[in-house]
A = this chain, B = another copy of it.
């Protein structure tokens, strides 16, 4: 059977690397990521293809005291202010997608033993998003203001590489819209101006393997709902 012949060390590793990647929601806050390692991960990720090799993005990583100060301000802001992202959230999802999104919320809170009506516990957990779940590294992804979907697609391709490279190095990641909710605050800490849109943020670090958050696994819809060969 052709299919078995295709299996190699490389295909086993890519499968493991993909399957062990999760949205990491608890990190070892004091286990620092070696800057050399972080740069190596980024260098590999930037090998991703982009429109005519434009590499139309700029990423800034915050660590240490600066990161702590930013996180403190973001959490305070999130307690009282609604999000004001540079890029408006998508809201008009078709029913099948909405159903998957609703299911994720239901499943996650059930896994965390947080009751549907326990607003206090839900709010407390939601605020942890703005701390990047205590990750030692937060990365903020910028795109020039005048560039739109095609460059966003390129950024995504690069972040797909980043997620898997980090996973191969046993680093956890979580892509978080929350970290891009208050771009003015983030831009202050990352010395970026309004010529750039803050597209998305991500937390990165060594996962806390004992944390209940990290034993949560999400399903994917059946392949036939997202892919078809004609």
Q: Which residues of A are interface residues toward B (Cβ below 8 A)? A: 2-3, 6, 8-11, 13-19, 21, 23, 34-40, 42-44, 46-49, 51-63, 66, 87-90, 92-94, 97-98, 100-101, 103-105, 144, 146-165, 168-170, 175, 177, 189-191, 199-200, 218, 220-221, 223, 225-230
- How far does the alpha carbon of A169 sit from the alpha carbon of B37 in the complex, in Å? 26
Known contacts A6-B37, A46-B227; 16 additional CB pairs below 8 A are A3-B40, A6-B170, A14-B168, A18-B161, A48-B160, A48-B163, A51-B90, A56-B93, A92-B146, A94-B144, A153-B159, A153-B199, A153-B200, A157-B163, A157-B175, A158-B160
Find out whether the CB atom of A149 lies under 8 angstroms from the CB atom of B87: yes
Q: How far is the CA of A200 from the CA of B156 in the complex (A)?
A: 13
For A60, the closest partner residue in chain B by CB is B228
Residues of B within 8 A of A170 (CB): 6
Decide: A230 near B151, CB < 8 A? Known: A3-B36, A157-B163, A163-B160. Answer: no
Q: Which residue of B lies closest to A45 (CB)?
A: B18
Q: Is the CB of B160 within 8 A of A164?
A: yes
Cβ of A229 to closest chain B Cβ, rounded Å = 5
This chain's copy number in the assembly: 2
Chain B residue contacts of A165, Cβ below 8 A:
14, 18
Residues in B whose Cβ lies below 8 Å from that of A89? 150
Find chain B residues with CB under 8 A from A159 CB: 153, 156-157, 160
Evaluate contact between A63 and B229: CB separation under 8 angstroms: yes
* Contact indicator B90/A169 (Cβ below 8 Å): no
- How far is the CB of A30 from the nearest CB of chain B, in Å? 15
> Are B175 and A49 within 8 A (Cβ)?
yes
Q: Give the CA-CA distance A223 to B43 in the complex, in Å.
A: 7
